[in-house]
Structure formats: structure tokens, C-alpha cells
Amino acid sequence: MLPTIALVGRPNVGKSTIFNRLLRKKRALTHDMPGITRDRIYDEGHYEGVRYALVDTGGLVMESDNESEEFQGDIFDQAREAIEESHALILVVDGRLGLTPLDEQVASFIRQSNKPILLLVNKVDGSEIEDQCLSEFHCLGFEIMPVSAEHGYNLEALRAKVAQLA
Ligand code: GDP
Ligand code: MG
């Protein structure tokens, strides 16, 4: 089995966009509506000869907002399964929005797995955002990488990092 890496995090932070950019495909469904990816999606990636499996999860949701409790339980279970089967985890957060309580809950949850974790601060679309937002994420204690999945910022560094985690 290939080394497996899962993208986890609350809905709408850009996990599916990152998945597509890393694998250079239009496979995972991205949408403005939080929680649009209901099922885990797997695909193979590679970087300089290192092959790995990447998992896009539907989002860890542990408190109710606009979706039904049942639906949230479902994506939570999916994410937990992804965590169980993965060698390393990439926790994705939204750099424009900043750190949210749900990010902190997700961070605590996955920290217990004792697996390598990269904190990927997405939506860093310009240097002014990078300066503002990165410091508040350091309290989570993970290695941090800023990217913009949409604008392509730091994606080559991310590809190398993912291969390193594999
Ligand atoms: P997911 O729910 O975590 O899988 O998030 P999606 O990949 O579906 O993305 C949610 C929304 O964020 C979509 O409207 C994306 O176009 C947008 N998005 C993703 N990456 C970026 C980024 O780097 N910058 C900005 N500004 N928006 C992004
Ligand atoms: Mg998604």
C-alpha cells in the first residue's frame, strides 16, 4: 500500500482545491458551500519518484451550524477514518479568516493521533495576508506552511513537502 496522506479540516478552507492542485486534476468537487465534499476521495500523487495516496475528506465538523446533525456525524466519521488509515495529516486552515474555535478542536483531535502533521494555511493570496495571519497559528504547535491554492503561491514547495511526509 502507498503511504497515505489525508487533508483534514473544517469545511470551506480549500481542502478539495488543494487536492486538485496537488494532483493536477479536476477530481474533488469544490464549492462555495461548506461541506460539499461528502465522501472521502482518494487518488495517487507523485513527486520526484515518490508515490503516495492523497485523501480529501469531507470536513471535520463537531458542532452544529447550518447542516443536520446526522450529516455532520457522517463527515466526522469519514474524517476519522481518513485519520486512522493515514501515515501523515495535513490540517488545512483559512488564512484570511484566521484561527477559529473549530480549527482548534480539529487540531486537538488530530494531535492525539501522534502522526506527523503539517498545518497548511491556505488562502494566503498576498504577502499582506501572510504577515498578518501566520503568527496566530503558531500556538497550535505544528509545522506551518502558507499557500494559496487558488493563486498557486507555494504549491511547488507543498508538493515537495507532501512527498517528504510520505
Ligand atoms: P473544502 O470544503 O475545504 O474542500 O474547500 P473547497 O476546496 O471546496 O474551497 C472552498 C472555497 O474556497 C471555494 O470557493 C474555493 O474556490 C475557495 N478557495 C480555495 N483555495 C483558495 C485560495 O487559495 N484563496 C482563495 N481566496 N479562495 C480559495
Ligand atoms: Mg471539499
Contact 124, 103 (CB under 8 A): no
pLDDT of residue 24: 78
Rounded CA gap, 153 and 146, in Å?
Answer: 8
Q: Structurally, what CATH architecture does the domain formed by 4-165 represent?
A: 3-Layer(aba) Sandwich (3.40)
Q: What is the 3-state secondary structure (H, E, C) of 56-82?
A: ECCCCCCCCCCCCHHHHHHHHHHHHHH
Q: What is the ipTM of this complex?
A: 0.99
Contact (CB, 8 A) for 10 and 106: yes
- The interaxial angle of helices 15-23 and 155-165, nearest 10 deg, is 90
Q: Given this model, what pLDDT does residue 123 score?
A: 96
Q: Atom 24 (ligand 1): residue with closest C-alpha?
A: 123
Domain range summary for the chain, segments of one domain joined by +:
4-165
State which ligand 1 atom lies nearest to the alpha carbon of 18: 7
28 in Cβ contact with 41 (< 8 Å)? yes
Q: How far is the CA of 15 from the centre of ligand 1 (A)?
A: 7
Cβ of residue 21 lying under 6 Å from some atom of ligand 1: no
Quote the pLDDT of residue 63.
46
The pLDDT assigned to 5 comes to 95
Cell of 34: 461548506
CA distances from 100 to 19, 91, 103, 106 (A): 22, 13, 5, 10
For the segment 22-69, what is each residue's pLDDT rounded down to a tens digit?
Answer: 987 655 555 555 544 445 677 899 999 999 999 888 744 444 455 555
Q: For residue 92, give the ligand nearest its CA.
A: 1
Burial of 116 from C-beta contacts in 10 A (0-12 / 13-18 / 19+): middle
Distance CA 156, CA 29 (A): 22
* Beta strands 4-8 and 88-94, pairing class: parallel
With cell 484561527, the residue in question is 99
| pTM (2 d.p.) | 0.87
